[in-house]
Amino acid sequence: MTELVLANARLVLPHETRSGAIIIKNGIITALEDGVRVPKGAVDCGGDLICPGLIELHTDNLERHLTPRPGVDWPHPAAVVAHDRELAGAGITTVFDALRVGTLDGSHGGAGRYARALSHEILALRAAGALSISHFLHLRAEICSHSLLDELDEFGAQDRIGIVSLMDHTPGQRQFADLGQLRTYLKGKFNMNDADFDAHVAMRRTLGDKMRTTHEAAVVAAAQRYGATLASHDDTTQGQVAVSAQHGVRLAEFPTTLAAADACHAHGIAVMMGAPNLIRGGSHSGNVAAADLAQAGRLDILSSDYVPAALLQGAVRLGEMLGDMARGIAMVTQAPAQVAGLADRGRIATGLRADLLRVALPASVPVIRSVWVRGARVA
């Protein structure tokens, strides 16, 4: 049996931090000990924090590696491996790679279908042992689209789909409620003129109204078929949250208002916000601040969103803000594990996977010293 002992550490446990050691055998935590003693052959952690490996439910990071510059496509296997290594270095030991399903047809300038082909590449790299951390899939199902039904049928229970999100980007609601902001964004990104924009909004509103009921029902059924957690996205009103609850949603990604977060809490839906929102002091698009939800007791989970290093930084910031480091770390470990149905990780406890990271906090800035996945060091 291979054994690893991490001693003289501050162990971040589910509800407290305390000095102790972790004994790991064959990738599993087999015992916890109290105190600062360093047995012969153990790793002396020098009082650093030992946390569970971070669990990332929503990240756009893979897209950045696939398209490092506008119009530049990078070879997919190399991009996936680079993404994997970056997450490992950020302390993320489990990731749900976000892939969009549901596109506009070519006559409307929509981006092409890619999710099925890319998921095959991710899963093949995993099977070949090329990836250092644990990868699952997160299908982001676009309601306002043409191809959603066909794309959902391309996946099955064998594809490691852990989360399916109900995404509705119909202009005039949710994330795109402010048509002025949407006009500025699309004109800048796609060089649209006013006539192009007006035609685009009209087309997508017509499509959303036509397909919403059929597509939402198909996404709910697909999540059940895959055995995946169902998530909502950008809930804004209490009515939208009520519909999410009827669908069986367990995770609310980035509710845009306190009222929506309150409604999620009332329905038992976990609220996830972006760590960049917390670190920057607010939403870059004018939505509710993650810090305000945390202070109101309405924040359950953090996501790195588009900055992998933000996940640990945000958890530490929360721990200091709330005066409870264990609570802050739980929002990026225990809470996401629970909502995703991963009972074998997310906590430091005997019998669980030894997915761990060693963190120093000079001047409250988290510095990762080491990262282990199943007891093997990956960063």
Per-residue model confidence (pLDDT) at position 198: 77
Q: What is the mean pLDDT of residues 242-255?
A: 97
Separation of alpha carbons 85 and 238, rounded Å = 40
- What DSSP character marks residue 281? T
Residues in contact with 294: Cβ distance below 8 Å, sequence separation at least 6, in sequence order? 278, 318, 321, 322
Separation of alpha carbons 357 and 26, rounded Å = 17
On the question of a common fold for 1-52+346-379 and 54-344, the answer reads no
Work out the percent of the chain whose per-residue pLDDT is above 70. 93
**Closest Cα partner for 285 from 365, 180, 209?**
180
Q: How many CB atoms are closer than 10 A to CB 317? A: 21
Q: Are 243 and 233 in contact (CB under 8 A)?
A: no
Q: Are 192 and 200 in contact (CB under 8 A)?
A: yes
Q: In what order do the strands lie in the sheet with 54-59?
A: 54-59, 92-101, 134-142, 161-167, 229-233, 251-253, 270-274, 301-303
Query: Residue 108 pLDDT > 50, yes or no?
Result: no
Q: What is the mean pLDDT of residues 273-289?
A: 86
- Taking each continuous run of H as one helix and of E as one strand, the counts in the chain are 13, 16
pTM value surpassing 0.85: yes
Q: What integer best gives the mean pLDDT of the chain?
A: 92
Say which CATH topology domain 1-52+346-379 has.
Answer: Urease, subunit C; domain 1 (2.30.40)
Per-residue model confidence (pLDDT) at position 77: 97
Query: Residue 364 pLDDT > 60, yes or no?
Result: yes
How buried is residue 340: exposed, middle or buried, by Cβ count under 10 Å (0-12/13-18/19+)?
buried
Q: Which residues pair with 9 in a beta bridge?
A: 20
Q: What is the mean pLDDT of residues 7-30?
A: 97
Q: What is the mean pLDDT of residues 60-70?
A: 92
How buried is residue 116: exposed, middle or buried, by Cβ count under 10 Å (0-12/13-18/19+)?
middle
% helix, strand, coil for the chain, step of 5: 40, 25, 35
Predicted confidence band of residue 88 (pLDDT cuts 50, 70, 90): very high
Say which CATH topology domain 54-344 has.
Answer: TIM Barrel (3.20.20)
Per-residue model confidence (pLDDT) at position 178: 67
Q: What is the mean pLDDT of residues 16-31?
A: 97
Domain range annotation of the chain: 1-52+346-379, 54-344
Query: Residue 131 pLDDT > 90, yes or no?
Result: yes
pLDDT digits (tens, 9 = 90+) for 291-342: 999 999 999 999 999 999 999 999 999 999 999 999 999 999 999 999 999 9
Between 116-125, 202-211, 271-280, 339-348, the lowest mean confidence (pLDDT) is in 202-211
pLDDT digits (tens, 9 = 90+) for 138-194: 999 998 888 899 999 999 999 999 999 999 877 767 766 667 666 766 666 677 787
Per-residue model confidence (pLDDT) at position 107: 43
Query: Residue 209 pLDDT > 50, yes or no?
Result: yes
Query: Residue 75 pLDDT > 90, yes or no?
Result: yes
> Does residue 258 or residue 189 have the better pLDDT?
258
